[in-house]
Amino acid sequence: MNEKVAAARYAALSWKELGVARRVQLLRRFVEIFALRKEEFAQLTSKEMGMPIAESRADVQGALAYFSWYLDNAEKYLSPTVSLEGEGEVHTVYHEPYGVAAVIVPWNFPASNFVWGCGQNLIAGNTVVFKISEEVPLCGQMIEKMMQEAAVPAGVFHEVYGRGPVGALLSRQGVDLICFTGSTLTGASLYRSAAAGMHRVVMELGGSAPGIVCEDADLSVAIPSIYSARFDNAGQACDALKRLLVHESVWDPVVEMLVGRLEMVRLGDPLSEGTTMGPLVSKQQVDLLERQVADAVERGAIVIKGGKHPALPGAYYEPTLLSNITSDMRVWKEEVFGPVLPLVRFSTEEEAIALANDTEYGLGGYIYTRGMARAERMASRLETGMVSVNGVNYTRPMNPFGGYKHSGIGREHGAWGFADVTQTKVVARRK
């Protein structure tokens, strides 16, 4: 590891001095190679972490689109800007790289985790030492090989492999910037070690996004959106809709329609085209989910649907709906990283907002209503970095992605993503 960080340090100055246009040119070659091998990467994703193949393909396609957007827009966001001109003076603001970035990511979207963590860093001129999750090392290896094939200069991109302690060690190697995607617990420990060296961090952490179904919601729009926001990738997404708040007047149809939707799920082999939900990433994740559901049931929750292993070998869990939820339950207080949705009734907008914000997390939020004034009012009161109204997807390369409260520090994508991986310098001079 020492050698990789040293090589990244050695390459940092020449990578910075290459300039944005040349870096963009070199990295475009990487994106071209990735695009040629996208099916291979999608297959590897499904094999390593169990995502159904159609979703793996979408992950790779999305990641390529994000990288391309960063490349197409880099000059716009990274070029110097004149902040003051007149009276014989000109003041110019430059965006300069930090130097060496440690980028540590999880396993849930291998292509996107890599691109979101590393893309803007590399374009902005940081060299990267990348640690992918121990759950998907072969995806990591393929990324490393494609970087070599693209002839990205030596030292600019390296990978280290292993479990948590490898990431902890990497964060203590005197890197200049730590970009972490993963759980809030791990993020907090990395934040402490960054503080010792006054290092900059970007943290994309856990979430427990609320979904609010108002009495005037169009359920034909809301139900497919709720399903996808909670159950895609077997519920293993940071900003998945993890707690559903339902107005009492539409409780019965919402429950009935969700049960109907879950009956259409086809659990099975992630490589088989007909599968709509694969296994969880590991047996440990299933064990954790079982403990969270058992805790809820002991405290009085009702299992509306699912709640157990299906009769399939592997780390599968049935898509599950729970009701009779109270705020002392683990499924309410903790992040639930699997296909389990707790449902809670509310009667007033006030109550819905209070329930939605009753969490340490603040990543995403989902509102379903026909009233746009109400949607705006509720969105402004949600303590989250991102809000979706009636299923419109906020995840776009030009939008800031990130959370309030314990869901993170900083943002990825767009102008904000470039800003968070660079430092600004103002140069003031006479004309």
Q: Give dist(CA 131, CA 128) in Å, integer.
A: 10
Name 373's Cβ contacts closer than 8 Å, sequence gap at least 6.
none
Q: Give dist(CA 131, CA 169) in Å, integer.
A: 11
| Chain position carrying tokens 């990283």 | 337
Which string of x and - marks every residue 137-176 that binds ligand NAD (by CB under 6 A)?
--------------------------xx--xx--x-----
Query: What is the nearest approach in angstroms of ligand NAD to the Cβ of residue 283?
Result: 14
Q: Give dist(CA 49, CA 108) in Å, integer.
A: 7
| Footprint of ligand NAD on 210-249 (CB under 6 A) | 238
Cβ-based nearer residue to ligand NAD, 163 or 266: 163
- Name beta bridge partners: 274: none
| Chain position carrying tokens 């979904």 | 211
Query: What is the nearest approach in angstroms of ligand NAD to the Cβ of residue 218?
Result: 29
Total residues contacting ligand NAD by CB under 6 A comes to 28
Cβ-based nearer residue to ligand NAD, 336 or 375: 336
Q: Which stretch binds ligand NAD (CB under 6 A): 30-38, 204-212, 268-276, 386-394?
A: 204-212
Q: Which stretch binds ligand NAD (CB under 6 A): 41-49, 205-213, 218-226, 251-259?
A: 205-213
Cβ-based nearer residue to ligand NAD, 134 or 349: 134
**Catalytic position from the list 48, 159, 238, 318:** 238
Q: Hey, what are 354's tokens?
A: 């209070």
Three-state DSSP state, 213: strand
Q: Around Cβ 116, how many Cβ atoms within 10 Å?
A: 26
107 binds ligand NAD (CB under 6 A): yes
Which sign does the torsion angle of CA 21, 23, 28, 29 carry?
positive
134 binds ligand NAD (CB under 6 A): yes
Tell me whether strands 177-181 and 100-104 are parallel, antiparallel or unpaired.
Answer: parallel
Is 85 a known active-site residue? no
| Footprint of ligand NAD on 372-411 (CB under 6 A) | 408
Is 214 a known active-site residue? no
Q: Give dist(CA 99, CA 374) in Å, integer.
A: 46
> Are 77 and 418 contacting, i.e. CB atoms less than 8 angstroms apart?
yes
133 binds ligand NAD (CB under 6 A): yes
Cβ-based nearer residue to ligand NAD, 131 or 200: 131
> Are 112 and 59 contacting, i.e. CB atoms less than 8 angstroms apart?
yes
Name 188's Cβ contacts closer than 8 Å, sequence gap at least 6.
none
Q: Looking at beta carbons, which residue is closest to ligand NAD?
A: 167
**Catalytic position from the list 159, 204, 318, 335:** 204
Return the residue of 121, 181, 275, 422 that touches ligand NAD, per CB under 6 A: 181
Q: Give dist(CA 276, CA 271) in Å, integer.
A: 10
Query: What is the nearest approach in angstroms of ligand NAD to the Cβ of residue 223?
Result: 24
Return the residue of 64, 100, 104, 245 that touches ligand NAD, per CB under 6 A: 104
> Are 96 and 425 contacting, i.e. CB atoms less than 8 angstroms apart?
yes
Q: Which stretch binds ligand NAD (CB under 6 A): 17-25, 201-209, 219-227, 419-427?
A: 201-209
Q: Give dist(CA 182, CA 191) in Å, integer.
A: 12
Three-state DSSP state, 396: coil
329 binds ligand NAD (CB under 6 A): no
- Structure letter (DSSP) for residue 412: B
Q: Which residues are catalytic?
A: 204, 238
Site residues for ligand NAD per CB under 6 A: 104-108, 131, 133-134, 163-164, 167-168, 171, 181-183, 186, 189-190, 204-207, 238, 335, 337, 363, 408
